[in-house]
């Protein structure tokens, strides 16, 4: 029975109710290389969002990851069927310029962080830059919008002054995180931006300052994007100051709507890792999307450390 005004399309969610839209996603991947041979049902998640009265809206997302993992090298497997809060927040939309968000939400830094799931990514793997430098989620408040009625400049301001509401799923545990990012849309194809942030980690207390820049040129069938970041790490425990410098340059070519070729070069230097500081990765990937929300991707990574070379295969769906 067609309960909805619109027909359901894969990847655009299901309208259950005026106030309830639901969706979900999962991904399966397989990595094979010198040091790695494992298959995963990586993430399984449910999400629900909707508009509420008086310009409020909400969003929740529950994920269990890695849902199931089988390591062929060590012949072990692990399961993780507990669902954690990935995101849970409320919005208040006052105007184009003033919008508030409170709860646990994605850190609005960079391109990759905003689309953290396999199916929405261009490649199966995330560039190192995107998950090594800053916490992927903020538990706190954020205000965002266009700087003015006519401007094409978007801004973001966020503060976290507490622990993450579900610490299991954060890449960098922190209890203070504050930052701001901006993005300028020059025209339909070209946009660029940057962000400035500061956070303090838990466990080993580090005070980290971050500076990040990004730029994208999207001119179908081509797309080029690049991001670079620098962090200054004040390690209170070792009482040393370290730094990270990382980024990438990625190009994509759409043969057709459904077939895409991706190439990426990554660089990452982390003085905390000593001699292993410099990392170079070159990646070649290919993705096939019969519909956008269903992707089958393959890639091969060339590392400076040849032992780390690996092939990655994945299949993912968003409902």
Partner 1 sequence: MSFRIKIIALILLVSIVPYAFLMSYFGNTLRQRYYDNTLHEMQTQLSLNVEQIQQYLENIKRDMQFIGALDVMNDIYSLDVDRRISNLLEQKKVELELLGDFYVVDKNDSIIASSNSEKIFQKIDKEPFYSVDIISNINNEKIALLELEFSLKNFTKFFDNNDGQIYYIVDDGKPLFKSSSFEHFIVVRKALAFDDKIEIVLEKNQEDFLNELAHYEKLFILALLLGAIIIGWSAFILINKLIRPILELSHNVEEITKTKDYSKNIEVQGKDEIAKLAQAFKQMLSGIVKALKENELLNKEIEETQKEVVFTMGAIGESRSKETGNHVKRVAEYSKLLALFYGLSEDEAEMLKQASPMHDIGKIAIPDAVLNKPGRFNDDERKIMDTHAQIGYEMLKASNRPLLLAAATVAYEHHEKWDGTGYPRKLAGEEIHIYGRITALADVFDALGSDRVYKKAWDDERIFNLFKEQRAQHFDPKLVDLFFENLDQFLKIRDTFKDT
Partner 2 sequence: MKNKIILTIIFSSITLFGAEFAIVADKNFQLDSLNAKQTKDIFLMKRQFVKGVKVVPVNASATSKQRDVFEKMFLKMPRHRLTKYWTKMHFQGVRPPIVQASSKSIQLFVKNVEGALGYVPKSEIDATVKVLYEF
Residues of this chain that interact with partner 1 (CB under 8 A) are 1-5, 15, 17-19, 50-51, 53-54
> Binds 2, which of partner 1, partner 2, none (CB < 5 to 8 A, cut-off by type)?
partner 1
Using CB atoms within 10 A of its CB, is residue 264 exposed (0-12), middle (13-18) or buried (19+)?
buried
- Least distance between partner 1 and beta carbon 7 (Å): 12
> Binds 18, which of partner 1, partner 2, none (CB < 5 to 8 A, cut-off by type)?
partner 1
Question: What would the two tokens of residue 231 be?
Answer: 């962090």
- Least distance between partner 1 and beta carbon 86 (Å): 25
Question: Rounded distance, CA 142 to CA 118, Å?
Answer: 25
Beta bridge partners of 215: 192, 226
- Least distance between partner 2 and beta carbon 72 (Å): 32
Q: State whether residue 306 is helix, strand or coil.
A: helix
- Least distance between partner 2 and beta carbon 292 (Å): 5
Beta bridge partners of 128: none
Nearer Cβ to partner 2 (240/259): 259
- Least distance between partner 1 and beta carbon 139 (Å): 28
Within 128-187, the residues that bind partner 2 by CB under 8 A are 146, 149, 187
The correct pick among 26, 49, 155, 268 for binding partner 2 (CB under 8 A) is: 49
Q: Quick check: 18 binds partner 2 (CB under 8 A)?
A: no
Nearer Cβ to partner 1 (15/36): 15
Question: Mind giving me the DSSP string for 236-303?
Answer: TTTTEEEEEEEEEEEEEEESSSSEEEEEEEEEEEEGGGGGGGEEEEEEEEEEEEEETTEEEEEEEEEE
Q: For CA atoms 137, 195, 116, 96, give the dihedral sign.
A: positive
| Angle (CA) 223 229 233, round 5° | 160
Nearer Cβ to partner 1 (51/173): 51
Question: Cα 151 vs. chain centroid, distance in angstroms?
Answer: 26
- Least distance between partner 1 and beta carbon 219 (Å): 36
Q: Quick check: 20 binds partner 2 (CB under 8 A)?
A: no
Q: Quick check: 13 binds partner 2 (CB under 8 A)?
A: yes
Within 250-289, the residues that bind partner 2 by CB under 8 A are 257
> Binds 306, which of partner 2, partner 1, none (CB < 5 to 8 A, cut-off by type)?
none
Strands 174-185 and 190-201: antiparallel
- Least distance between partner 2 and beta carbon 117 (Å): 7
Nearer Cβ to partner 2 (141/311): 141
Residue with tokens 């449910």: 46
Nearer Cβ to partner 1 (17/306): 17
Q: How far is CA 291 from CA 11, 12, 256, in A?
A: 9, 11, 12
- Least distance between partner 1 and beta carbon 50 (Å): 8
Question: Rounded distance, CA 163 to CA 173, Å?
Answer: 8
Helix %, strand %, coil % of the chain (to 5) = 5, 60, 30
The correct pick among 2, 5, 81, 306 for binding partner 2 (CB under 8 A) is: 5
Residues lying near partner 2 in the complex (CB under 8 A) are found at 5-7, 9, 11-13, 15, 21, 23, 47, 49, 51, 57, 59, 91, 93, 95-96, 114-115, 117, 120, 146, 149, 187-188, 220, 257, 291-293, 318
């Amino acid at each position: 029975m067609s309960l909805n005004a619109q027909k359901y399309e894969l990847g655009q969610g299901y309208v259950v109710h005026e106030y309830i839209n639901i969706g979900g996603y999962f991904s399966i991947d397989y990595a094979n290389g010198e040091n790695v041979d494992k298959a995963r049902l990586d993430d399984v998640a449910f999400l629900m969002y909707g508009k509420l009265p008086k310009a409020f809206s909400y969003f929740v997302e529950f994920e269990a990851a890695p849902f199931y993992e089988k390591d062929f090298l060590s012949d072990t497997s692990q399961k993780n069927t507990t669902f954690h809060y990935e995101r849970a927040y409320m919005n208040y939309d006052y105007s184009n310029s003033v919008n508030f968000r409170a709860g646990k939400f994605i850190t609005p830094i960079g391109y990759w962080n905003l689309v953290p799931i396999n199916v929405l990514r261009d490649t199966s793997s995330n560039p190192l830059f995107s998950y090594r430098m800053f916490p992927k989620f903020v538990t706190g408040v954020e205000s965002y919008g266009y700087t003015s009625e006519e401007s094409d400049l978007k801004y973001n301001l966020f503060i976290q002054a507490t622990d993450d509401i579900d610490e299991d799923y954060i890449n960098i545990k922190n209890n203070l995180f504050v930052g701001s990012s901006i993005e300028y849309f020059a025209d339909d194809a070209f946009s660029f931006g940057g962000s400035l942030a500061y956070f303090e980690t838990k466990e080993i207390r580090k005070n980290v300052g971050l500076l990040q820049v990004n730029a994208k040129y999207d001119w179908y069938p081509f797309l080029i994007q690049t991001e670079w970041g620098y962090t200054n790490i004040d390690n209170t425990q070792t009482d040393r100051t370290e730094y990270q410098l990382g980024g990438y340059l990625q190009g994509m070519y759409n043969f057709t709507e459904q077939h895409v070729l991706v190439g990426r070069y990554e660089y990452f230097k982390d003085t905390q890792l000593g001699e292993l500081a410099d990392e170079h990765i070159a990646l070649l990937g290919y993705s096939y999307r019969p519909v956008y929300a269903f992707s089958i991707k393959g890639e091969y990574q060339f590392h400076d450390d040849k032992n780390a070379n690996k092939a990655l295969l994945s299949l993912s769906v968003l409902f």
